Structure 1
């Protein structure tokens, strides 16, 4: 996308949009202030809420981190559940994600989170209603992860975790639409944990790496994809360049690539004319299983935060436990 490239290449023409960014800042600042003084109502759920989000548009690795966080919470004795927006899905009421759902019904990321985490996942644009529905359906849940909910101030939270792209950083540091930021970098000073994904950032508390755990076939009984094979990359994610780097790091050769917009609703026609094996992201794979063909694979990945992040998270989880009497 030309605008996105301009943000991260720091193209001069982006600064022509600064008046619109100033308007965006005013609107978001007033909105947050209204929540702070109580003019706009916010709600606290009866269990602790951890928000995992970012201050920039585009992918920062929230999904693999959320899967890792679910494991950590279980190791600390919690029973986690997840609430999510369900991007691109129209929902009249909160919906519990089930195995028979498609990505078109509940969203690609919530479906992936439900499949991989083993945690109950509820989708709704209303995060409060989603949390209440989750607790009603799964009363044993004693902690909630709000996926990509940093700017949803109607839901009170006990911990805020923000991910930054360690390769691209915060771009030109401007708010939308002159830059990629939803909130100013100063917002990072107010959150509990800032994690740089796949790189270093001076504002981060630590970093995490994304490790590929191998290519998995979308269809059963398919031969393994050897790392030396040339593949065509397919991705409909916020930062396909990171996926490309992961594929190369895993040893695969890239013959061609087809990158689509984030959350692209894939159909069979998107794959026309491809003769090499196809390698896609796991988030995209959940949207393609209904029409998958032999030779289609996805790259499974795992998040690996460093010890600094693990130690800081452990300290904060212990404080949460004592506060809620766990």
Structure 2
């Protein structure tokens, strides 16, 4: 490992330690919006499955009679410091791809703001009685009642080193303080990936392929034995490709950087095959999709005991 990477990691670790100390001593203040706050996040850079879990939590809480709202930074959006309400029809470059996806899937109120406390306060003021903060584990200004760490089952905490020497945003010890540890097992087919002691297993299940031009959904089994172009601009594209291969689909993979802003030229693959892409990618392709393009939604499944434990913890949170 290059010496400069180790030195930068030490400097980064010092900044993190100072920030923690300032909050611990009260020199920086935490703020609570007045309704319970659930933070879904991770201590590693890159995707771990936070968005599917956030959607699952929203849907379950609504079934239980809560009125949830989602606070997010809206990574990569224009005018990043400008607070904004996000709806299903919001342009992803204004609202962020993940917030637009969450709004489209759930229909709940979604607020993006660089200041997660301000977003949570706006949601509480709009009638939400619980706030789910998507990717806010390191945003300490927002006081939270429940912390959920999401762990990629294949990569876990990597080499255990801080950025840029490794993938960690914070030391591994930080994860111990979280109330729940959810491990993303993908489709659960990899026998080498399993939940450990104190971890809750989460599996991702595909829905039907949704034509971006509209029309009837197609079961993914209809693509089995066929070659398709698979597009993923997410934190771990390989998981999406492997899940499709697990269904017998012959994948021609096209991996893009996380939060990639697509152009029509990105889809000039040289062959007219069906194009299967993640929901997060699909929300950014409305301007140039064709009859060949499909969005493949995923849903997170967790054991009922997880929901019992989460709801029990939530009802114990102060109003």
Name the TM-score, length of structure 2 as normaliser.
0.91
Q: Does 1:237 align with 2:237?
A: no
Kindly tell me: are residues 222 and 271 of structure 1, through their superposed partners in 2, closer, same or farther at Cα, counting changes over 3 Å?
A: farther
Q: Mean Cα displacement is larger for which, 108-117 or 30-39?
A: 30-39
Q: CA deviation at 1:204?
A: 4.6
2:94 is paired with a residue of what secondary structure? helix
Give how far 1:134 is off.
2.3
Confirm whether residue 75 of structure 1 aligns to residue 59 of structure 2: no
Cα contact 1:97–1:121 (8 A) shared by 2: yes
Q: Note closer, same or farther for the CA distance 1:295–1:14 as it changes in structure 2 (3 Å cut).
A: farther
Whole-angstrom distance in 2 between the partners of 1:213 and 1:265: 24
SS class of match (1:316): helix
Query: Which position in structure 2 is the counterpart of 1:280?
Result: 277
Equivalents in 1 of 2:315, 2:81: separation in Å? 37
For structure 1, list consecutive stretches of 5 or more residues without a partner in the other structure: 1-12
Which string of whole-angstrom CA distances, capped at 9 and with x for unpartnered residues, describes residues 96-129 of structure 1? Answer: 0123311111100000000001210011111122
Tell me how far 1:159 sits from its aligned partner. 0.5
Match runs of 1:4-23 below 5 Å: 13=1, 17-23=5-11
- What is the TM-score of this pair, normalised by structure 1? 0.89
From 108, 119, 123, the counterpart of 2:97 = 108
* 2:161 paired residue number: 174
CA positional deviation for 1:17? 1.9
1:210 aligns with 2:204: yes
User: Would you identify which runs of 4 or more consecutive aligned residues in structure 1 move more than 6 Å?
Assistant: none
Asked whether the equivalents of residues 53 and 148 of structure 1 are also in contact (C-alpha less than 8 Å), the reply is yes
The SS at the match of 2:286 is helix
1:32 matched to 2:32? The reply is no
Q: For 1:246, which of 243, 248, 257 is the aligned residue?
A: 243
SS where residue 229 of structure 2 aligns? strand
Q: Secondary structure at the match of 1:194?
A: strand
Alpha-carbon contact 1:54-1:162 (below 8 Å) kept = yes
Shift of 1:179: 0.5
Name the SS for the 1:211 alignment partner. Answer: strand
Alignment: residue pair count: 307
- Aligned twin of 1:7: none
Per the alignment, residue 313 of structure 2 pairs with 316
How far the C-alpha of 1:15 sits from its partner, in A, is 7.1
Residues 206 and 308, structure 1, Cα contact 8 Å, conserved in 2:
no
Please state if 1:130 is matched with 2:127.
no
**Structure that is richer in helix per residue:** 1
Match of 1:93 among 35, 59, 82: 82
Paired residue for 2:189?
none
| SS in structure 2 at match of 1:20 | helix
Secondary structure of 1:144's counterpart equals: strand
2:258 matched to 1:269?
no
Partner of 2:214: 220
